[in-house]
Amino acid sequence: MPAKSQAQQKAAGAALSAKRGQTRKSALKGASKSMYDSMSEKQLEEFAETDRKNLPKKKTKH
């Protein structure tokens, strides 16, 4: 499942980095911390690899 916004893609990238041990879990906050706890590494990869080029900055509520 691809990310729906640039913010979601960035948060997934940060959570993935912590999941792989490249950054500390304590450095995470907000959505990235929640994603770290609730998603697998494979799920985070799918979100993080989404091309940000055509994504909105934030997800709109509908």
For residue 62, being part of any structural domain is answered with: no
For residue 25, give its domain range: 6-48
Note whether 52 and 2 are within 8 A (CB): no
> In the chain, pLDDT over 90 holds for what percent of residues?
73
For residue 60, being part of any structural domain is answered with: no
For residue 42, being part of any structural domain is answered with: yes
Res. 38: pLDDT tops 80: yes
Res. 49: pLDDT tops 70: yes
CA distance linking residue 20 with residue 4, whole number of Å: 23
Number of compact structural domains in the chain: 1
For residue 24, being part of any structural domain is answered with: yes
Angular region, 5: left φ>0, alpha ψ -120 to 50, beta rest: beta
For residue 59, being part of any structural domain is answered with: no
For residue 58, being part of any structural domain is answered with: no
Average pLDDT of the chain is: 91
pLDDT of amino acid 62:
59
pLDDT band at 13 (very low <50, low <70, confident <90, very high): very high
Res. 55: pLDDT tops 80: yes
State the Cα torsion 44-45-49-52 to the nearest 10°.
0
